[in-house]
Amino acid sequence: MLLDLTGVQLSFGGLYALRDFSLSVGEGEMVGLIGPNGAGKTTTFNVISGLYPPSKGVVRFRDQDLTGCPAHEMAARGIARTFQNIRLFDRLTVLENVQVASHWRRGYRLWDAAFRNSRFAEAEQGSDEEAEALLATFGLYERKHERATSLPYGEQRRLEIARALASKPSLLLLDEPAAGMNPAEITALIALIARIREEFGISILLIEHHMHLVMGICQRIAVLDFGVKIAEGTPDEIRTNTRVIEAYLGEPVENERRQ
């Protein structure tokens, strides 16, 4: 297993955001995480990416216990994520946004940068080429020197994903990548995600509300409600699971049938 969450618990004040949550993601797998609003999905991502240390439980990645490690270390070990509300670096260009993600692999030290020696020039060029290739894959090469926030919404979302991939992760956490997209854009996104899996060979954990996106591309789906995992299985299993339906609709399925 690439990622192993065991018995993770996180509370804010007296409120449990996550309770006894366990999840595994294997190499090359595509797993979906769904649930009503406030169920704890983004909180799960925050725990995995190192922003919140869990109050209980273990986060294992590549067989190493990374519970409580700070975010930048998680990134260095190969976990990348996108954000629900786009968090691009508004003071940097499109190209620079992508390059930041490879900061810890820059290959030169302060001295090299200050005096612009050959080590710096080579490493910088490599960084430029790598980032430009990634942008090309995402159709953003033309805009590489523009301010990241001047891009239209759809392209900003693509840039978020491109940036996450720049750190060469083994696990990619996508937080509602289809938010605010129309059906045509979603179709393109599905194709993009499929291509990412193929080209980069990474595992993906996906939070989404667009059901046909999740059901369409995920191999496995876990369902959260009020911080607790209430179901896990294949898309077909989840689709017909009564507890899941109840959680989303908020009332027992019996009543619905009577009406």
Residues forming contacts to other proteins in the complex (CB under 8 A) are 42, 46, 49-51, 53, 68, 70-72, 74-76, 80-81, 83, 87-92, 96-97, 99-104, 106, 108, 110, 113-116, 120, 124, 127-128, 145-147, 150, 163-164, 167
Closer CB to other proteins, residue 97 or residue 203? 97
Closer CB to other proteins, residue 88 or residue 238? 88
Residue type, 95: L
Q: Quick one: which of 206, 238, 205, 243 has its CA closest to 226?
A: 243
SS3 at position 255: helix
Tell me the closest approach of the beta carbon of residue 85 to other proteins, in angstroms.
Answer: 9
Closer CB to other proteins, residue 42 or residue 203? 42
DSSP string computed for 37-99: TTSSHHHHHHHHTTSS--SEEEEEETTEE-TT--HHHHHHHTEEE--SS----TTSBHHHHHH
φ, ψ dihedrals at 176, nearest 5°: 50, 60
The upper half-sphere exposure of residue 125, i.e. CA atoms within 13 Å in the direction of its Cβ, equals: 7
Tell me the closest approach of the beta carbon of residue 106 to other proteins, in angstroms.
Answer: 4
DSSP string computed for 151-215: S-HHHHHHHHHHHHHTT--SEEEEESTTTT--HHHHHHHHHHHHHHHHHH--EEEEE-S-HHHHH
Give the span between the Cα atoms of 76 and 60, in whole angstroms.
Answer: 15
Tell me the closest approach of the beta carbon of residue 38 to other proteins, in angstroms.
Answer: 13
Closer CB to other proteins, residue 153 or residue 248? 153
Closer CB to other proteins, residue 60 or residue 119? 119
Tell me the closest approach of the beta carbon of residue 204 to other proteins, in angstroms.
Answer: 16
Tell me the closest approach of the beta carbon of residue 18 to other proteins, in angstroms.
Answer: 14
Tell me the closest approach of the beta carbon of residue 98 to other proteins, in angstroms.
Answer: 10
Q: Which contiguous run of DSSP H or E holds residue 7?
A: strand 3-12
Closer CB to other proteins, residue 81 or residue 158? 81
Closer CB to other proteins, residue 143 or residue 220? 143
The upper half-sphere exposure of residue 95, i.e. CA atoms within 13 Å in the direction of its Cβ, equals: 17
Tell me the closest approach of the beta carbon of residue 28 to other proteins, in angstroms.
Answer: 22
**Cα 5 to chain centroid, rounded:** 16
